[in-house]
Structure 1
Amino acid sequence: MVKRDNAGDLVGLLTVKDQDLAASWITEVSGSLGGRISRAEVERELRELYEALVDALRQGASDVHAESMSEVRALLTELSRNRARQNFSPSETAISVFALKRVLEPSLEGGSAEAVRAYLQLARLLDGLGLFTIETYTQTRDELITAQAEQLLELSTPVVRLWDGVIAVPLVGTLDSARTQVVMEKLLQALVDTGSEQAIIDITGVPAVDTQVAQHLLKTIVAARLMGAECTVSGISPQIAQTIVALGIEFDDIVTKASLADALKLALRRSGVDLVAHQGVQR
């Protein structure tokens, strides 16, 4: 906390020409954002922040984490999260705080020693607020990236209903532990939702399988069996077959087929569907 007389200097620094300072701050920040946010929106954000900062300083706050700075932190959190969602950079986000230091600099020309000390103290506080803004921005970006990765994982692991009682999971791309866990969850849920008794895991589009992924696939098949469904693995390439043999992974009595078509034929026969080949009729 700052002494009351110092707090008065800080408040005075911001309120002597508060309307001019706020307007200059808004102009500075608006220009740095390249018109991607309307000036009206920037003005709303910064005027609320300006008023909250002055109020906190009146209460003697000089620390970012002071209780009297709670409103300032809340407004900066909202601003940082909005900038992260709008794909602004960390620098473009932090400028919303640091620009206030620049617009205060002209007021120091010919100023007293007390005014300079007040500016330096306020600059340190704004530095702390800028770092808080960047930290919040980074956290929000990490959350967004994680959420997008989860959504892509869901989209890249579809469960397809091929026939009554027959579902398939066509996998494309690299398999890792996280993705194979999603495969298990989605496959088991689809078995419940559709009442299917036949499931096909097609790995035609999978370039490689390691020990951990193979073990996850085996667990998925065992879990499906516990739910009364039979699983068939299709599309095992020569490279993957060699890897499985080299790793000593035992597929035991798990049925494998070279192609999805072969696996579907087997699943249909298991379901009691008679397959009849029809020759074309010549006209």
Structure 2
Amino acid sequence: MSSDEAVARKRVAGVMQGRVDEIADRWVQLQVRHAAVSAGTRESELREEADALVAALAAGLDSALPVDRIANSHADLNRAVTELSLRRARSGESPTATALAVLALKEALLEAVRESTQDGGELFSAALLINRLLDAAGALSFDTYVEGREEIIHRQSRQLLELSTPVVRLWKQVLGVPLIGTLDTARTQVVMENLLQAIQDQEATVAIIDITGVPTVDTAVAQHLMQTVNAVRLMGADCIISGIRPPIAQTIAQLGIDLSTIMTRATPADALSEAIKLTVGSLPASNGPSDGPASR
């Protein structure tokens, strides 16, 4: 570390430690002015973030860590930046708003340092140090924000897949999965996991996979169906595919897809009738609608 940098670091650290509340207040004001936060964000929340981050920055500068490594290596500062970024990602803030917040903190720090020194060279060195420090913090914030948004998007996609592939109890020991739309690898995995768990929880012996709402069946879709059927069989249950419409039957035949080992029926009603035969052989009155459908 050069002597100029050491002096600048000492100067900035001293200013921050002596004016933490003032810098935090100023940062909140600048964020509101620059529209770096959404309209619904409360000022008290911003002040809480500002207090934590400014205090952590001051502690980081007071440590022995190189300036470029403080944001990533100083535990308190790393945690403050990470929590701020994740909080803003979850609240729907844009990456631009988060970047503007970092720039606003630079402005607040530079104002505080400028008010405490009249030396142009020292002020310039302090400005360079603040830029290096907060550029590293900004990069960490951006990376954390992106990871947080990806996690949120993945979780929401998973929830949507689960909602679009419900496992329904059609009859005693009979489950149904109505599929609508394209059956891809991700959706197949969700269908398989939900169906196998439902078979275990409800002690089902027959699963009906209805593809009436699947627009087309190609080799990939057929492969996904085979995987699901094989997994169901490994659980000791039978599997019936319903909804084989004439165009789909023709396509399957033209593609040479072999579904001969799988029980298929034209309609869900036909599949349910076959499932009842497989489970009870006949239909006692007590097993009628009183056992009715229930969603998992």
Is the TM-score greater than 0.5? yes
Cα distance 1:19–1:202, how it changes in 2: closer, same or farther (>3 A)?
closer
Q: Deviations over 1:179-230 (max 9, x none)?
A: 1122222222222222222221100011123323312312322333344322
Q: How does 1:146-185 map onto structure 2 within 5 Å?
A: 146-185=154-193
Residue from 259, 271, 281 that aligns with 1:272 = 281
Counterpart for residue 26 of structure 2: 24
Please, which runs of 5 or more residues in structure 1 have no aligned partner? Answer: 277-283
Distance across 1 between alignment mates of 2:25 and 2:189: 54
1:143 positional shift: 0.6
Q: Which structure carries more relative contact order (alpha carbon 8 Å, separation 6+)?
A: 2
Counterpart for residue 63 of structure 1: 68
Cα distance 1:226–1:47, how it changes in 2: closer, same or farther (>3 A)?
closer
Counterpart for residue 42 of structure 1: 46
Counterpart for residue 232 of structure 1: 240
Cα distance 1:174–1:71, how it changes in 2: closer, same or farther (>3 A)?
same
Distance across 2 between alignment mates of 1:12 and 1:24: 17
Q: How does 1:197-276 map onto structure 2 within 5 Å?
A: 197-270=205-278, 271-274=280-283
Contact 1:25/1:103 (CA < 8 Å) preserved in 2? yes
Cα distance 1:175–1:23, how it changes in 2: closer, same or farther (>3 A)?
same
* Structure 2 SS opposite 1:88: coil
TM-score, normalization by structure 1: 0.87
The one-letter code sitting in structure 2 at the alignment partner of 1:26 is: V
Cα distance 1:121–1:167, how it changes in 2: closer, same or farther (>3 A)?
same
Q: How does 1:3-22 map onto structure 2 within 5 Å?
A: 4-12=6-14, 14=16, 18-22=20-24
Contact 2:28/2:46 (CA < 8 Å) preserved in 1? yes
Distance across 1 between alignment mates of 2:202 and 2:21: 65
The one-letter code sitting in structure 2 at the alignment partner of 1:272 is: G
Runs of 4+ in 1 over 6 A off after TM superposition: none
Identical aligned pairs, as a percentage?
A: 45
Contact 1:158/1:170 (CA < 8 Å) preserved in 2? yes
Counterpart for residue 89 of structure 1: 94
Distance across 2 between alignment mates of 1:186 and 1:104: 53
The one-letter code sitting in structure 1 at the alignment partner of 2:23 is: L
1:144 positional shift: 0.8
Cα distance 1:244–1:176, how it changes in 2: closer, same or farther (>3 A)?
same
Q: Deviations over 1:215-249 (max 9, x none)?
A: 23123223333443222111123343233223221
* Structure 2 SS opposite 1:168: strand
1:124 positional shift: 2.0
Contact 1:234/1:259 (CA < 8 Å) preserved in 2? yes
Distance across 2 between alignment mates of 1:248 and 1:204: 21
TM-score, normalization by structure 2: 0.83
Q: How does 1:136-155 map onto structure 2 within 5 Å?
A: 136-155=144-163
Cα distance 1:208–1:111, how it changes in 2: closer, same or farther (>3 A)?
farther
Size of the alignment, in residue pairs?
Answer: 276
Residue from 183, 187, 198 that aligns with 1:190 = 198
Cα distance 1:48–1:190, how it changes in 2: closer, same or farther (>3 A)?
closer
1:17 positional shift: 5.3
The one-letter code sitting in structure 1 at the alignment partner of 2:50 is: L
* Structure 2 SS opposite 1:188: helix
State whether structure 2 residue 56 is matched by structure 1 residue 52.
yes
Contact 1:180/1:213 (CA < 8 Å) preserved in 2? no
1:75 positional shift: 0.3
* Structure 1 SS opposite 2:68: coil
C-alpha RMSD over aligned residues: 2.5
* Structure 2 SS opposite 1:63: helix
Distance across 2 between alignment mates of 1:81 and 1:71: 15
